[in-house]
């Protein structure tokens, strides 16, 4: 098993190095083949490990790699820990990454820098694998920063595009804010526990309950402050409210990047970290309350914004932000298994939706505005049915008494039930925010489907599409499509859609009892609250059907507004002017941060530049010395007459001055 684990983790790294080194020195197919092949091998090796934990035949394993750091009291090795929690992440990361690699064969076919793209994809996968197999906090931070670097490279992959560069920098900077909290949390944890070993920390954590520590001149509960600092890191990486602004802009990267990084893997790193350290968080009630509140607030915030966006990828991006909120408030109420179950199912249906959106964009000559879609279900039927499966999964279609439903029905409904079953004020707040978000999720998801696949074709109205096919509406004559007909994606893009569709349909049905009800499955890899699970199953029937009812309401409102009477959205936007603009402008977070941070930073920079650099350093430094030399040279030049008596006079005056200085 050790060789199997080493192959899973290091094959993507080797493939990335090879693809990066050959780059343009070999045909693109070489880099694509070696990276895609390596990821499929890693994925195939991951599933037996996961299924071994499902059946109870596998045990937690630690694979030593090398001795890493030995400095005073700080000593730790580079080792790969594989337990149930890691096995779940291995399956998610490698399966989605392998399918994204295959999908990119078709999507990136015309790009001249394909080797570089595939090298970045595999590098990201390796960094994510390092994060989830970490046996200590420093190794986890190594993977944490590795995925940040790879995300920066992939978001800004089209570096000649200014908006892509700006988005990459924004993601990098915002994540540094969260990472500062994460680093302080790691430093504090080492200070308190004297180790960075995750197993040792989790074993000692219960004994620290109630302990206090000095922080910013106050006495605060040790575990609360440590867990809050660690959670700030999770907020940045998982785009929670306040540090979420980078995620929608990250859609500037190629669509496969969005599916891999911003749906299934990197953005779930924060959730994974909180769940991995769940025994620590269980001793920190204030931190858990913060996790619950931020998760529930993010859940509803992102859902409201998603209802107003026109860019198909941005709608799904805000949907991702909202679903991550569900995962966090599930962890916040103590249902870590439910949080991981939603992470597991979400990886399938959200990656499916992103790749489906990429297939639509590919068919529409890279047009992303849904106002220029319409009627595509007849033009690209396979993509339509794949996105239908994803939409049924994310909206939570299923019936409790029949015991049947799509993936989101099993995981998202379980989170709502456990939040209500918790019985606390914050639990009830999370339940109601999650239920309202479920209504909005249904609305914006079906809005996306209706605008894209139903109604009249609106391609002729898109100047981008018409320009790309070099035919204006006038030139098209009687051809109502403007001379352009959408086309289905190649097989390399459709196969991943088909595989992910199976996951969107069956993942919840197959694994719900394992993730939610089996403490033996988790085998100590997370904190498991059996009493909370019993309370989840005992909630009233109206709680169990609340998500189903609001899903139907969202579906009906979307049908009414975008199929039955298409004038309703315009009228509603006009009637709800300030509210609509508030949601459309993303609650004005970008504008707020611009005036709070960007403008003062530029002002401060200008002051340092004008007063400090030019006014002080340059004035009295290089410019001052240069001025003295210049003026001195002008004065000294007057003595260079070429006459002997002039030089004799200067020497005499100098001698007199020297004697005078000595005497007096």
Strands of 199-288, DSSP E: 212-215, 218-221
Determine phi and psi for 523, rounding to 5 degrees. Answer: 50, 45
Report residue 394's pLDDT band, with 50, 70 and 90 as the boundaries: very high
Report residue 1's pLDDT band, with 50, 70 and 90 as the boundaries: confident
In this prediction, residue 648 carries a pLDDT of 84
State mean pLDDT over 527-536.
Answer: 92
Q: What is the pLDDT of residues 442-459, one digit of tens each?
A: 999 999 999 999 988 887
In this prediction, residue 250 carries a pLDDT of 87
For residue 521, give the nearest of 343, 346, 337 by alpha carbon.
Answer: 337
Ranges of each domain in the chain = 1-283, 331-522+540-584, 587-620, 633-664
Category of 379 on φ-ψ map: left (φ > 0), alpha (ψ -120 to 50) or beta: alpha
- pLDDT over 90 (residue 23): no
For residue 228, give the nearest of 175, 173, 268, 188 by alpha carbon.
Answer: 188
Alpha helices in 133-221 (DSSP H): 137-155, 162-193, 198-204
- The answer to whether the CB of 559 falls within 8 A of the CB of 283 is no
- The answer to whether the CB of 369 falls within 8 A of the CB of 311 is yes
CA distance 349 to 342: 11
Determine phi and psi for 443, rounding to 5 degrees. Answer: -65, -55
Q: Regarding beta strands 404-405 and 398-399, do their DSSP bridges make them parallel or antiparallel, or are they unpaired? A: antiparallel
State mean pLDDT over 464-468.
Answer: 53
In this prediction, residue 466 carries a pLDDT of 53
- pLDDT over 50 (residue 474): no
Structure tokens at 536: 């989840």
State mean pLDDT over 67-94.
Answer: 92
Query: Burial code of 350-369, b = ≥16 C-beta within 10 A, e = fewer?
Result: bbbbbbbbbbbbbbbbebbe
For residue 499, give the nearest of 406, 363, 386 by alpha carbon.
Answer: 386
- The answer to whether the CB of 554 falls within 8 A of the CB of 442 is yes
Determine phi and psi for 303, rounding to 5 degrees. Answer: -65, -40
Contacts of 241 (CB under 8 A, 6+ apart): 235, 294, 297, 298, 301, 325
For residue 144, give the nearest of 236, 82, 70 by alpha carbon.
Answer: 236
CA distance 486 to 458: 12
In this prediction, residue 347 carries a pLDDT of 93
In this prediction, residue 461 carries a pLDDT of 65
Q: What is the pLDDT of residues 294-350, one digit of tens each?
A: 999 999 999 999 999 999 999 999 999 999 999 999 999 999 999 999 999 999 999
State mean pLDDT over 271-288.
Answer: 95
Q: What is the pLDDT of residues 237-275, one digit of tens each?
A: 998 998 999 888 888 888 898 888 876 678 889 999 999
pTM, 2 dp:
0.89
Question: Collapsing DSSP states into helix, strand and coil, what is residue 218?
Answer: strand
Helix axes 312-332, 285-306, angle to 10 degrees: 160
Report residue 484's pLDDT band, with 50, 70 and 90 as the boundaries: low
Report residue 402's pLDDT band, with 50, 70 and 90 as the boundaries: confident
- pLDDT over 80 (residue 43): yes
Percent of the chain with pLDDT over 70: 95
Q: What is the pLDDT of residues 106-148, one digit of tens each?
A: 998 888 888 999 999 999 999 999 999 999 999 999 999 999 9
Q: What is the mean pLDDT of the chain?
A: 89
């Amino acid at each position: 098993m050790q060789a199997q684990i080493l192959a899973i983790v290091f094959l993507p790294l080797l493939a990335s190095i090879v693809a990066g080194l050959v780059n343009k020195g070999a045909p693109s197919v070489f880099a694509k083949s070696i990276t895609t092949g390596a990821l499929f091998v890693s994925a195939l090796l991951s599933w037996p490990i996961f299924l071994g934990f499902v059946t109870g035949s596998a045990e937690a394993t630690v694979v030593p790699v090398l001795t890493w750091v030995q400095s005073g009291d700080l000593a730790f090795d580079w080792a790969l820990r594989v337990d149930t929690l890691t096995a779940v992440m291995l399956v998610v990361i490698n399966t989605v990454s392998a399918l994204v690699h295959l999908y990119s064969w078709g999507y990136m076919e015309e790009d001249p820098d394909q080797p570089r793209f595939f090298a970045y994809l595999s590098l990201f996968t390796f960094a994510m694998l390092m994060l989830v197999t970490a046996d200590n906090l420093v190794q986890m931070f190594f993977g944490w920063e590795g995925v940040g670097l790879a995300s920066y490279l992939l978001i800004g992959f089209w570096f000649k595009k200014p908006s892509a560069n700006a988005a990459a920098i924004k993601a990098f900077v915002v994540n540094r804010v969260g990472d500062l909290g994460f680093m302080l949390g790691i430093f504090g944890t080492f200070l308190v526990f004297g180790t960075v070993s995750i197993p040792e920390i989790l074993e000692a954590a219960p004994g620290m309950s109630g302990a206090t520590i000095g922080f910013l001149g106050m006495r605060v509960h040790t575990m609360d402050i440590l867990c809050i600092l660690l959670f700030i890191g999770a907020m940045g990486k998982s785009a929670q409210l306040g540090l979420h602004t980078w995620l929608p802009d990250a859609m500037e990267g190629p669509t496969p990047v969005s599916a891999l990084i911003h749906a299934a893997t990197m953005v779930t790193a924060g959730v994974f970290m909180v769940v991995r350290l769940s025994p620590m968080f269980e001793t920190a009630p204030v931190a858990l309350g913060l996790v619950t509140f931020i998760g529930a607030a993010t859940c509803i915030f992102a859902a409201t914004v998603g209802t107003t966006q026109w860019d198909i990828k941005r709608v799904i991006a805000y949907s991702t932000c909202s679903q991550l909120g569900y995962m966090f408030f599930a962890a916040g109420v103590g249902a870590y298994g439910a949080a991981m179950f939603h992470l597991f199912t979400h990886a399938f249906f959200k990656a499916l939706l992103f790749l489906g959106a990429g297939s639509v964009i590919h068919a529409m000559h890279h047009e992303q505005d849904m106002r220029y879609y319409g009627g595509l279900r007849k033009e690209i039927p396979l993509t339509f049915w794949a996105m239908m499966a994803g939409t049924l999964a994310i909206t939570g279609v299923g019936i409790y008494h029949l015991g049947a439903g799509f993936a989101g029905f099993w995981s998202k409904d379980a989170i709502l039930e456990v939040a209500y079953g918790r019985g606390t004020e914050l639990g009830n707040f999370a339940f109601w925010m999650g239920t309202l978000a479920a209504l909005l999720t249904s609305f914006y998801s079906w809005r996306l489907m209706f605008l894209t696949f139903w109604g009249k074709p609106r391609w002729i109205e898109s100047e981008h599409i018409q320009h790309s096919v070099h035919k204006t509406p006038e030139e098209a004559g009687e051809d109502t499509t403007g001379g352009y007909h959408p086309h289905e994606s190649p097989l390399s893009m459709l196969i991943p859609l088909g595989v992910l569709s199976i996951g969107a349909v069956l993942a919840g049905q197959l694994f719900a009892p394992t993730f939610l009800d089996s403490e033996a499955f988790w085998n100590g890899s997370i904190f498991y609250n059996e009493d909370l699970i019993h309370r989840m199953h005992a909630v009233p029937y109206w709680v169990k059907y609340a998500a189903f009812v609001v899903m139907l309401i969202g579906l009906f409102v979307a049908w009414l507004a975008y199929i039955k009477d298409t004038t309703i959205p315009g009228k509603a936007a006009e009637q709800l002017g300030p509210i609509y603009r508030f949601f459309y402008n993303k609650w004005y977070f970008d504008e707020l941060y611009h005036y709070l941070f960007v403008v003062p930073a530029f002002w401060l920079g200008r002051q340092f530049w004008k007063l400090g650099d030019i006014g002080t350093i340059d004035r009295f430094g290089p410019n001052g010395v240069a001025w003295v030399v210049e003026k001195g040279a002008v004065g000294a030049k007057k003595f260079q007459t070429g006459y002997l008596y002039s030089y004799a006079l200067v020497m005499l005056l100098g001698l007199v001055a020297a004697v005078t200085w000595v005497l007096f």
